[in-house]
Amino acid sequence: MKPLGPSRTVKASWNMPPQRRNAPKINKELFAMRGTTIAVSLVLGLATTTTCAAQSYPPNSLLGGSTAQSNTATPSCYIGHGFSTFQRNNNAARADISFSGLIDSGGYDLKGQAVLSFTAPGLNSGTITFTEVPSYPANIRSPSFSNYSQTYANGRLQVVFLIAFPDCTLNVNAVYND
């Protein structure tokens, strides 16, 4: 009868220390490969965590959310509560926002897409241009905005700013989820 595999020298287990008698055999190459895999996974995991923690909110993403209702002393100047979208790439000089209902006191319906053009990146004021209404007067179609701020925490982005129309100022307060 032939041996089934290469011959091996077997040591008597009574000559081994007690902790090694019943220990499983370790394949050193497999252990080295698994150790490397674990180390690489750990490094990549930490790098991903560090990268995510540095972001203010998901870059290059169109976020969905809603605007809060906002009324002024002039009853016909308001923002209705409704669906809204928002996109600003990091601290860019431009942001896109949409409104489901925004009425100026002159009766101009400004729902739809608008572009916030900041006077300089990182500043909190500029001009908002309502792109859906090219025939409206310039002071209605492109009023100034101020007091812009954005806060991101726990997957929620809150955007707040004021729009200064000729006869009223509207407070925009919108919340978006990533």
How many domains does the chain divide into? 2
Q: What is the mean pLDDT of residues 121-129?
A: 87
Residue 138 and residue 155 in one domain: yes
Residue 81 and residue 165 in one domain: yes
Instruction: Look up the domain containing 37 and give its range.
Output: 13-54
Residue 159 and residue 83 in one domain: yes
Residue 47 and residue 76 in one domain: no
pLDDT at position 89 over 80: no
Q: Does residue 4 form part of some domain?
A: no
Q: Does residue 24 form part of some domain?
A: yes
Residues 13-48 pLDDT 10s: 555 555 555 555 545 554 444 444 444 343 344 333
Q: Quick check: helix, strand or coil at residue 51? A: helix
Q: Does residue 40 form part of some domain?
A: yes
Residues 53-67 pLDDT 10s: 434 677 778 899 999
**Of residues 109, 164, 156, 102, the one with CA closest to residue 135:** 109
Decide if 65 contacts 157 (C-beta within 8 A).
yes
Distance from C-alpha of 92 to C-alpha of 4, rounded to nearest angstrom: 71
pTM: 0.66
- 71, with CB counted inside 10 A (0-12, 13-18, 19+), is middle
In sequence order, what E strands does 59-155 have?
63-67, 70-71, 78-79, 82-87, 94-99, 102-103, 112-118, 126-130, 144-153
Residue 82 and residue 156 in one domain: yes
**Count of helix runs (H) and strand runs (E) in the chain:** 3, 11
Residue 93: pLDDT band (50, 70, 90) is confident
Residue 41 and residue 78 in one domain: no
